[in-house]
Each structure stands twice: as structure tokens, then as C-alpha cells.
Amino acid sequence: MRTRRLALEALARIDEDGAYANLVLAGLLDRVDPDAPPLSARDRGFVTDLVYGTERMRRACDHLVDRFLSSDPPAAARRVLRLGAYQLAFRPDLPDYAVVASTVSAAPKRFRGLVNAVLRRVAAAPVEFPDTPTRLSYPDWIVDRLVSDLGELDAVAAMETMNRPPRVHRRADGYVQDLASQWVAALVGATDGDLVLDVCAAPGGKATAMAANGATVIASDLQPGRVGLISANCLATGADGVVAVVADGTAPPWRPGSFDRVLVDAPCSGLGVLRRRPDARWRLDADAPERLGALAIQLVDAAAQLVAPGGTLVFSVCTLTAAETTAVDDRLAVAHPELDVLDPPEAPWRPWGPGAMLLPQDADTDGMCIFRYRRR
Ligand SMILES: C[S@@+](CC[C@H](N)C(=O)[O-])C[C@H]1O[C@@H](n2cnc3c(N)ncnc32)[C@H](O)[C@@H]1O
């Protein structure tokens, strides 16, 4: 019951205060309650799954309970019903009777009758959905966008994969970083003695990985608070060779042609990393890909001028939309004829325009795109 109460508290903060799921959860799990023993690792994992799963599958869960409601319940009751429906439909390892009993007792007293009646009916009814966006639990616009950019089969498989929790990958220096992100850092090709500019570097995952190869990395980011994260991660990983600076990548303070390699890991809609950010799909607006694609064009255009002759420019994003990937490359091709396209990486990457895309389902990683160029 304690685990479900904690999950409900986290869901309320996300719902009512607009808090980020990962931050709320970290705070709640580490809160010290003098009247209770600390949560076991197993319980922490269970609360995390309840919150992330309920948040991800919100639309699907609402559909399952709405079949048995005649009017919209108060928000606090809605959250308990979602939490119950998530366990009943998506946690087959939990017995229905236990889910109903423990979710009812975690509910505020005044809603217990309603929750008990509705969850019993949800448990007894088949799990059926009217359409793909409801079944996959994504907003219509994300389903429409990915289906139109990737084709239905790949888009649906990507969205299904992003409904499952990610695997954790720890680098040799202890930094936790998804394999896709590690591969992008490696594909920059930075080696001993290279001077590298990482234009959008915070929190420093790729910058510290490149420095580990012997490169000197200028790790810049627009947001001072996030530049602090780069420094903290350098300390934690023991990375030397990284210089963290605040700089706007659209108006970079560097002389043209200063760097052997430039990486633009641009801010994006993040539609390739939704398994890590369970609440992100409900926060994003449908204009985000165009808006962020336009910003990426500005960043890559400015970065192209900073590459020394013979040096390389790498553009990457953790999203899967054409507006933020091939459309950026199209503009770059027109504006920078001095850039030659480098061969795309091999499988599990797939060719995507003159670059490559890694779909989440292909290697159980985050979804990413990468484009690499050499300046003549
Ligand atoms: C995808 S994240 C970078 C992740 C990072 N490369 C890593 O591997 O850890 C994008 C970053 O771009 C930064 N950003 C956004 N606009 C920027 C701008 N105009 N100039 C520089 N950085 C910017 C954001 O603050 C954010 O930290």
C-alpha cells in the first residue's frame, strides 16, 4: 500500500504541478520518513514502474476505465483509476484481486467505493482499444507524424518499444549512457590531440566520452545551469580534457575554422527517447518538430563555419522526424557546398537521407539520427 500511495503522490505532482516524472520520483524515493523503514530496492523499482507505466499508458488506461464511468471523475479519483488500470492491463504478473484491494486502500477514503466498483469491472472485461493511438497510448499527432515519416510498420514498432523501460548501460567510468548515445560520440571519431567543439554539450555525456579518447573538448551549452552539470559530470567521471563554457551555438564566439571536429547534438523533440521520459509525450506540442528543426538549421549552419579544412562536422538528434533531420541536411547542402557527406554508419543504423537513423526496436536503444560531413 505504501508503494501505491507514493506512486499516487508522484502522479499528483506531475498532474497538478507540471513536475517532471524523473525529478519528482527521485525526490520522493529519497525522502526520509522517520516513521517508516527505508524502501527496499525492489519497492523503489516497483514505485518507479507504477509511475512511469501509468504516465506512459495514460491514454490507454483512461479508455479502459471510461467504459465504466458515466461522467468524468475528480482528478484525484482519475489518478487512482489510471494506476489501477495500468496494473490490471499491463502488469500481468500482479494478481487482479491484489491489485484491486491494494489500489482501493491507497485511494482517498471518499473515492474508495467508486474505485472498487470500476476496477472490478475493468478486471473482468477484455482489454480492447478502439484504435492504434489509444492502444499505444500516444497523442494522435505523434502517431500521425511518425507514421507519415517512417511508415506504419516501423513507426508502430518504435512506439511499442518506447512503451517499455530502457536497459541501463554504464560506461567504464561509471557514467550511465544509452548505447545509441555512446555510438554517436564514437562516430564523431575524435582521437588523441584533436580539438573538438561540442556545441550543445550539457549534461556532457558525449563530451566526456570523446575526452576519454584523448581529445580536448570545448563543451559549450546555452544554459549556465546545464553547463554546471557538464562540470559535475567531468568530476564524477574523472574526465580531464573537457572545458565547459556557456555559449550560444547560434552566435558562437569562436574564430572560423578553429576545430578539427564539431558536434552539434541539437535540442530536439526527443521523439526517439520517450521510453526515458514517460511524461514527455503529453507535454510536447505538435509544432515542436518544425520549431526545433528551424533551430537545428541555425545551429548547424553556424557550426559548419567553425570546422577547419579537412575537419568533420557531425549533426545528431534523439528524434525520428524528417523536419528535425533530413530537412536540416537539405538546408545544409544548399548553404554549405564545401561540405562533403561522409559514409553513414553500418547496421544497426539504417540509411536515412545521406545520414543514418537508429530505430529503438533495432538494437533496444534510444532512437537517434546522425549526419556526418567533411569540410573540403
Ligand atoms: C540533446 S541536449 C545535448 C546532450 C549532450 N550532447 C549529451 O550527450 O549529454 C541539447 C542541449 O542543447 C542546449 N541548447 C539549446 N539551445 C542552444 C543554443 N542555442 N546553443 C547552445 N546550446 C543550446 C540545451 O541546453 C541542451 O543542453
- pLDDT tens across 137-153, in order? 999 999 999 999 999 99
* Ligand 1 mutation target, pool 221, 250, 318, 366, most atoms within 8 A of CB: 221
CB contact set of 204 (below 8 Å; sequence gap of 6+): 219, 229, 230, 233, 234, 239, 242, 244
For cell 526520509, the residue is: 32
Q: What is the mean pLDDT of residues 34-47?
A: 89
**Looking at ligand 1, which residue's alpha carbon is closest to its atom 1?**
267
CA of 26 to the centre of ligand 1 (A): 23
Give the atom of ligand 1 at the shortest distance from the alpha carbon of 203: 9
* Ligand 1 mutation target, pool 171, 222, 268, 295, most atoms within 8 A of CB: 222
CB contact set of 60 (below 8 Å; sequence gap of 6+): 85, 89, 129, 134, 135, 136, 137
For residue 36, what pLDDT is reported?
A: 81
Give the atom of ligand 1 at the shortest distance from the alpha carbon of 223: 25
CA of 220 to the centre of ligand 1 (A): 8
CB contact set of 338 (below 8 Å; sequence gap of 6+): 304, 375, 376
Cell of 192: 588523441
Give the atom of ligand 1 at the shortest distance from the alpha carbon of 204: 9
Closest Cα partner for 60 from 122, 148, 114, 13? 122
Q: Are 230 and 213 in contact (CB under 8 A)?
A: no
CB contact set of 370 (below 8 Å; sequence gap of 6+): 184, 187, 314, 315, 316, 344, 345, 349, 355, 356, 358
What are the pocket residues of ligand 1 if the criterion is a CB atom closer than 6 Å to any ligand atom?
181, 199-206, 221-223, 226, 248-250, 265, 267
What pLDDT digit, counting tens, does each position of 206-262 carry?
Answer: 999 999 999 999 999 999 999 999 999 999 999 999 999 999 999 999 999 999 999
**Looking at ligand 1, which residue's alpha carbon is closest to its atom 2?**
267
CA angle (358 as vertex; 356, 361 as ends), nearest 5 = 150
Q: Are 249 and 223 in contact (CB under 8 A)?
A: no
For residue 180, what pLDDT is reported?
A: 98
Q: What is the mean pLDDT of residues 161-190?
A: 97
Phi/psi-derived region of residue 151, left when phi > 0, alpha when psi is between -120 and 50, beta in every other case: left
Q: Are 335 and 133 in contact (CB under 8 A)?
A: no
**Looking at ligand 1, which residue's alpha carbon is closest to its atom 5?**
201
**Looking at ligand 1, which residue's alpha carbon is closest to its atom 10?**
267
What pLDDT digit, counting tens, does each position of 8-39 carry?
Answer: 999 999 999 999 999 999 889 888 777 888 88
Percent pLDDT > 90 in the chain is 95
For residue 125, what pLDDT is reported?
A: 98
Give the atom of ligand 1 at the shortest distance from the alpha carbon of 199: 21
* pTM for the full predicted model: 0.95
For residue 184, what pLDDT is reported?
A: 98
Please report, in angstroms and rounded to a whole number, the separation of the first and last CA atoms in the chain: 64
- Distance, in Å, from the CA atom of 117 to the CA atom of 241, rounded to the nearest integer, reads 61
What pLDDT digit, counting tens, does each position of 127-137 carry?
Answer: 999 999 999 99
Tell me which H or E stretch contains 172: none
Q: What is the mean pLDDT of residues 334-359?
A: 98
**Helix, strand, or coil (residue 181):** helix
Q: What is the mean pLDDT of residues 105-118?
A: 98
How many CB atoms are closer than 10 A to CB 341?
Answer: 15
* Residues with catalytic roles: 318
CA of 345 to the centre of ligand 1 (A): 23
Q: What is the mean pLDDT of residues 54-79?
A: 98
For residue 130, what pLDDT is reported?
A: 98
Mean pLDDT of all residues in the chain? 97
CB contact set of 35 (below 8 Å; sequence gap of 6+): none
- Distance, in Å, from the CA atom of 249 to the CA atom of 298, rounded to the nearest integer, reads 8
CA of 303 to the centre of ligand 1 (A): 13
Give the atom of ligand 1 at the shortest distance from the alpha carbon of 206: 8
For residue 30, what pLDDT is reported?
A: 86
CA of 119 to the centre of ligand 1 (A): 43
CA of 204 to the centre of ligand 1 (A): 9
